[in-house]
Amino acid sequence: MRVCVIGTGYVGLVTGVCLSNIGHDVICVDNNEEKVKTMKAGRSPIYEPGLDELMEKSIAAGKIEFTTDLAKGVNHAEIMFIAVGTPPLPTGESDTRYVEAVARGIGSHLMSGYKVIVNKSTVPIGSGDWVRGIVLDSIKERQEQGGPPCEAEFDVVSNPEFLREGSAIFDTFNTDRIVLGGSNPKALDMMEQLYKPIIDGEYAEEGTPTPIPVVKTDLSSAEMIKYAANSFLATKISFINEVANICDRVGADVTQVAKGIGLDSRIGPKFLQAGIGWGGSCFPKDVSALVHTADDYGYEAQLLKSAVDVNKRQRGMVVEKLQHELKILKGKTIGLLGLTFKPNTDDMRDAPSLNIVEELNRLGAKVKAYDPIVSQSGLRDGMRGTLVETDPDRLADGCDALVLVTDWEQFKSLDYAAMAKSMTQPLVIDGRNFLDREALQAAGFRYVGMGR
């Protein structure tokens, strides 16, 4: 099928590359000329394991191209994905101006044939009908100004994404479900056909159940599924962090508690890892947007608001633990292991590390950090109040404590014995309960976990 993906951020680029790899003819459109040049050269502008290789493969096969020409993409496609950003506004609601601009652009270029316009961006509930109205208004304005007539027909479909940064390729080909929301069965059938190789498990890893379930529903329900899923997962993390804080006070070990409750099939073990809270671009934005939607309709989402409050408080727990162990932090040197909000990504959006750095600076501590991605990229230039080191050994030198912030796999195998010897005080705060406590203690560290 002929596909156009408008917006080559995290979701758009992964979607376009994966669809081209299963045989579709894809044009990716972005208004950033430098970004398009980078992608034409076969390089991804974002860090995502495996993405560069898939891009090169699709480019070599002639299945994907990148352009700034929206008209070319619109006229090429049977199916058009809107995959631009919807960042949060100060009020908590989503900023949909980029979605609106794309919808207007589609309307100004739509000519003939039947098209499916897909909301891939995470948009407020009710946005499907809103996008349809914008496209129709744009077509009308074009014709009133003497532009070419539009002989095209179109439907709008909601197709939310459930990708995890760092494992987006795997998640695309091994998804738990595909959600399609719309009112016209023809549009939903076209979308199902688009995903058929994935649904049939042709690109799935061994052990992935096939066929992949397809949830066909109305627009509003599809939009709600996205918000509800992320809000539930965020709430589950806040719950186990709340339990961890109680464990700290009563002498229980939250890792054992999580194991015990996770074996209950009604609960499950995923997202029960206590730590310093959630961040990134999805959970904070989606929970806030759902709270804002509830407020708009006269309902106070108390549970979701509490999940947000717990998460904000959790980011300060490692600082409290440092104060308990070191007493006065003014003049102390604290080393952070990891900066990104999660491993296998370069994403610093709403990363807990930013709050930790800010609070440590406020208390007069000197902050050093090492991150496998940030330390090797220009991102470190924007880390105010932090000395970003280029290797973990330099990080440990002269530190009064280390704080594990991001659970990068390589942090399990560092030479902690050598690091302990180079520190002023060999103390580690494991903010993710990720490291081997016994191994750290054998290396000479005093180990402090979360809820342990």
d(CA 152, CA 168): 34
Strands of 25-29's sheet in order across:
64-67, 25-29, 2-6, 79-82, 112-119, 151-158, 178-181, 214-217
Task: Name the token pair of 178.
Answer: 């595909």
Q: Specify the pTM.
A: 0.92
Q: Is the peptide bond before 88 cis (omega within 30 degrees of 0)?
A: no
CB atoms < 10 A from the CB of 174, how many? 18
Indicate the pLDDT class of residue 207, thresholds 50, 70 and 90. Answer: confident
Average pLDDT, the chain: 95
pLDDT at site 69: 98
Structure tokens at 360: 């440590």
Q: How far apart are CA 202 and CA 196, in angstroms?
A: 9
More confident residue, 92 or 358: 358
pLDDT tens digits for range 338-351 = 999 999 998 899 99
pLDDT band for position 379 (cuts 50, 70, 90): low
Whether the predicted pLDDT of 378 surpasses 70: no
| Calculated CA dihedral for residues 414, 417, 423, 429, nearest 10 degrees | 60
Q: Above 90 in pLDDT, residue 434? A: yes
CB atoms within 10 A of CB 140: 12
Could you report the per-residue pLDDT of 179-202, keeping only the tens digit for each?
Answer: 999 999 999 999 999 999 999 999
pLDDT at 88: 87
Q: What is the pLDDT of residue 375?
A: 84
Alpha-helix runs per DSSP H in 61-161: 70-76, 97-109, 127-144
DSSP-assigned letter for residue 313: H
Q: In angstroms, rounded to a whole number, what is the distance separating the alpha carbons of residues 209 and 202?
A: 11
The whole-angstrom separation of Cα 365 and Cα 332 is 5
Which residues fall within 8 angstroms of residue 165, CB to CB, at 6 or more apart? 10, 48, 280, 342, 344, 345, 347
Flag the least confident range among 92-96, 172-176, 247-251, 376-380: 376-380
pLDDT of residue 439: 97
Residue 217 pLDDT exceeds 60: yes
Active site (catalytic) residues? 282
pLDDT mean over 63-84: 97
Instruction: Compute the distance between CA of residue 10 and CA of residue 188 in angstroms, rounded to an integer.
Output: 24
Is the confidence at residue 380, as pLDDT, over 60?
A: no
- The pLDDT value recorded for residue 355 is 95
| CA-based end-to-end distance of the chain | 53
Residue 114, pLDDT > 60, answer yes
Question: Hey, what are 43's tokens?
Answer: 């390089």
User: What does the pLDDT read at residue 377?
Assistant: 73
- Per-residue confidence (pLDDT) for residue 302, from 0 to 100: 98
The alpha carbon torsion through 402, 257, 265, 310 (nearest 10 deg) reads -60
CB-based contact 80:73 (threshold 8 Å): yes
Q: Is the pLDDT of residue 91 over 90?
A: no
Average pLDDT value for residue range 367-390: 82
| No. of helices (H) and no. of strands (E), the chain | 18, 14
pLDDT at position 158, please? 97
Distance of CA 142 to the CA centre of its chain: 37
Say whether pLDDT at 383 is over 80: no
Please check the confidence at residue 218 and state whether its pLDDT lies above 80: yes
Taking residues 167-172, what's their average pLDDT? 94
Which domains does the chain carry?
A: 2-217 (3.40.50.720), 226-313 (1.10.1040.10), 315-448 (3.40.50.720)
The model's confidence at residue 209, banded by pLDDT at 50, 70 and 90, is confident
Percentage of the chain beyond pLDDT 90 is 91
> What tens digit of pLDDT does each residue of 264-312 get?
999 999 999 999 999 998 999 999 999 999 999 999 999 999 999 999 9
